Amino acid sequence: MIFFVLSGFLITSMLLKEYRQTGNIALGNFYRRRAYRIFPNFYCCWILTTVVYCLGGDFYWKHAALSFFYLMDYGRGLAPASVQPWMHMWVSWSLAVEEKFYLLWPLLLLVLLKRPNLIRMLVSIILGQWVYRAVMTLHFHVRESYLYNTFDMRADALLVGCLLAIMVENGRVRLLCCELLRRQWVSVLAPLALVLMWWFQPQATRRSLYCCGRFSH
């Protein structure tokens, strides 16, 4: 989760800097930079992984297609738990989430920047995401693997990072944050946030993290 928050913060800070300097966001240049940064390394790794799977006789083209087109987040979210560890480049699920964010967020940000109540609208989107997750969990009983892996369940973490970047750009909000940081009780928020993040993780994830902690000791 922290990784996605940081990613949303950094990408939004970069886009806001360009918008402040030029009055626009060059979408073509943004997508080109992302492609040059990610595609060469990713597809070299994809080719090597495919060769290894083919030599081992365990190649499944559907799994390879999921990773190739950055859909492994939904591949892992919908596949049986017994299959997930053996899927083609299954670790690329987080990159699949990131790629969807790179594709959609600059377009949405351009729309939001033309609105006078940017922060309020983004907060509303994040709250709507939380309601959506609650409905999917409590009413539709979606699996933990879907809650953990998929873009639509991780978008709020990315958007929280985007919101923080936008708030930092706002002068009044920056002054308010500086004033809050002078309060001693604010130091409690960081450990409280970590506890809440742990509590709201899917149960299977909490168990695996706990076991890893015990094993490391």
Helix (H, G, I), strand (E, B) or coil at 170: coil
This model's pTM is above 0.75: yes
Q: What is the CA radius of gyration of the chain?
A: 20
CA 75, 78, 80, 85 torsion-angle sign? positive
Helix (H, G, I), strand (E, B) or coil at 202: coil
Tens-digit pLDDT profile for residues 143-158 = 999 999 999 999 999 9
- Report how far residue 169's alpha carbon sits from residue 163's, in angstroms, rounded to the nearest whole number: 10
Contact 8, 160 (CB under 8 A): yes
Residue 194's pLDDT is: 65
Query: Residue 129: which residues within 8 A CB-CB, separation 6 or more?
Result: 155, 156, 159
- Report how far residue 209's alpha carbon sits from residue 140's, in angstroms, rounded to the nearest whole number: 26
Per-residue pLDDT of the chain (217 residues; tens, 9 = 90+): 788 999 999 999 999 999 999 999 999 999 999 999 999 999 999 999 999 988 887 788 999 999 999 999 999 999 988 888 788 999 999 999 999 999 999 999 999 998 888 989 999 999 999 999 999 999 999 999 999 999 999 999 999 999 999 988 876 776 776 776 677 776 777 677 667 666 655 554 444 444 444 433 4
- Report how far residue 105's alpha carbon sits from residue 112's, in angstroms, rounded to the nearest whole number: 10
Contact 118, 112 (CB under 8 A): yes
Tens-digit pLDDT profile for residues 87-124 = 899 999 999 999 999 999 999 999 999 888 898 999 99
- Report how far residue 188's alpha carbon sits from residue 177's, in angstroms, rounded to the nearest whole number: 15
123: nearest Cα among 162, 92, 95: 162
Question: What integer best gives the mean pLDDT of the chain?
Answer: 86
Q: Distance of CA 116 to CAs 8, 65, 111, 119, Å?
A: 21, 42, 11, 9
**Could you say which DSSP state residue 188 is in?**
G
